[in-house]
Structure 1
Amino acid sequence: MTPSQTRWITLLLAITSAMAVATVYFAQPLLESMAAELGVAQQQIGWVVGATQAGYAFGLLLIVPLGDLIDRKRLILGQLLFSAVALVGVGMAPNWSVLLLALASTGLMAVMVQVMVAHAASMAAPGQQGRAVGTVTSGVVLGILLARLVSGGLADVAGWRSVYLVAAGLLMLMALVLWRTLPSGQRMAHGPGYRALIAAQFSLYRHDRLLRQRGLFGVLIFAAFSVLWSAMVMPLSAAPLALSHTEIGLFGLAGVAGTLAAARAGRLADQGLGERSTGLALALLVLSWLPTAFVEHSLIAFVLGVLMLDFAVQAVHVTNQSILLAGRGVMASRLIGAYMCCYSLGSGLGAVLAGWVYAHWGWAAVCGLGMAISAFALGYWLWLQRARAAEAALQCSGQNL
């Protein structure tokens, strides 16, 4: 495969990833409308995101490892089709329980994004994996941004249910496009069976120290990310702001900084600067909560905070994946699946906690929660740097002796 063909396929995977990940984030501007129509209390609203992320976590554990076992093209096409069915279920859900079940199924199928990230990384030439991961992740960020904007606009015109029904049709169309254009994915010629692959997935957490470290960063940064994006609809839709779905969705455009961060962070990781960029991004994440706290007084300050947070989170996210996959393309799907379980855990916990905290103490407490999580992530990074420096000094003294 020529470099130009590889770049084209990577771009196609990025576009598909944007569409797939959008299904996970459609709900964020719509939470108030969903709760109002189905008669759900405000403190329970975070379970919309929590159910989706729970499905996502199961998909990461049970479906993503299949990318190391079977044809990735067939796996992606199957997930697209089942995702369309789940989205129809969301759009037609008659009650809260059915809605949560359909959203969990949507999250279960949305893990095709990680299969595509692994596929792009395995096709890339040595030294170019970070760039490939950054390109696909840029598509993911754009999908998140468009999800909020499109879902808000459609909901104002035709109600929140129309968002999911339209998305189901688009995924069916994308399945047809990929069936005709995407080359067959790589699979293991001689490897373990499915049960052994799943067992190996769990053993990664015990044996891979790098995965544990980067996984904890994933939990923390996406908990902070979800605290903001799951709770922001409440102060924005309430008096005195009282913004519409479309206006709330427009705030997602501030996250375009995340696209820039994703592309740049991959290149920095390829240059061996992943640790430095992680530390700077985490410091920015802590500071982002200061302007965010002023949402009821200055929307400009709030947008600045969103910009800072999205930039920081995506920079750390891409760096995490690039460092984990460097030189380990054979087990890319398992590593991505294990890492993204941490992402899903953080997102679900952040959403549930944010809804509960807002219902009891308001927006200032939500920002305090987000800042505390971000500060813990920065403190963990500083601790790792000191531990590595001490280990290096010990090895150096041993060699001198």
Structure 2
Amino acid sequence: MTPLAKQDDTLAMLRDSLARYLDDHHGFEQRLHALAAADDAPPPFWQGLARDLDLLSAALPEAQGGLGLGLAAHLALMPTLGGALAAEPYLSTLVIGAGLLQRHPGAQADELLARVVAGQAVLAFAHDEPHSRHTRDDVRTQLAREPDGRLRLDGRKAVVRAAPWASHFIVTARSGCGEDGGLSLVVVPKAAPGVQLRGYPTHDGGRAADIVFEAVRLGSDALLGAEGGALPQIEQALDEATLAICAESIGVLRRLMRDTLDYVRQRKQFGVPISSFQVLQHRLADMHMALEQADARTAIAGETLATTQSPQARARAVSSAKVAVAKACRAVGQGAVQLHGGMGMTEELALGHYVRRATLIEGQFGPPAWHLRRVAQLQRQRRQQAPLSAGMR
């Protein structure tokens, strides 16, 4: 068996194990009760992912006790999590948090990774700020060095997903004076003096918080990587997270399509199922095509990230996938609600909860317009560099 075939078999087994676990422990009613009870502690299913399935180590390198599957593990598992509408902090803890920790090995990072794998630590990525508009380097939170060599963190972060459940934050901050300093990454315990949270539920059933860091003092070992040089790692982490929610959306949208097809086959008007009406068949075909295009774009982006080290190629692939996913979320979500009628947005029907998650995915990590501008800018840069390369030859 080739290494690629072996990896595919491993990913299939992980998907099947996760799907069976979610079927048994994460039904729609179970999810509602668990999220209602989960205030500042992660939902109980999070412990199951660590204790019962040992899934939290799948992406980590073998040297750190993982299976070495990398981003492929996230892209394989996220559609299953999306299909179950799981609100667990998988994205913030494993895709972003663990990804950043493993790229900056050290005593603290290794210890925290071990706690994450055991289900004892939950991470939240504190990057967006009240003024920011998805620009990756638009950060005003300040990181300064004290005379004794310790670090001081001051600033505000907005809509930090999974923050109420987190034990640690990975915070982006600007080192040096004003806007001229580079960006740094620091690990901040939630219980550190000077950390203030205002938590609230999100529309998709998760939790988020606005955070104030006021004179938070940290040891020098809290710094991940070189001070002031973290922007490339931040951009990579956000691109991988964006692709992960694209994969999640495929599970969400497939569930929406399944529920909608079941409904139109059962609902009758004039004595026949409404699925026999040609205009509805056209609408369903449009929804299906949007979903398949999003799925294909996500798969292409996953292959690109697995085979290239170019930040520009990664950014083009991820933003292209995100645009396709956003269009599919709107087409499938709105179509599902319209075909169900008013009952499509009721709390009692699972469909309304899936539509809300699809709507949030549409704008998470940047709306379609932002990603289109990003792709256009990268294309302009590529065209400008092409004549220079030709002249050098």
Shorter-chain TM-score category? 0.3 to 0.5
Q: Which has the larger radius of gyration?
A: 2
Comparing both chains, which one has the higher relative contact order based on Cα–Cα distances under 8 Å and sequence gaps of 6 or more?
A: 1
More strand by share: 2
User: What TM-score do you get using the length of structure 1 for normalisation?
Assistant: 0.37
More helix by share: 1
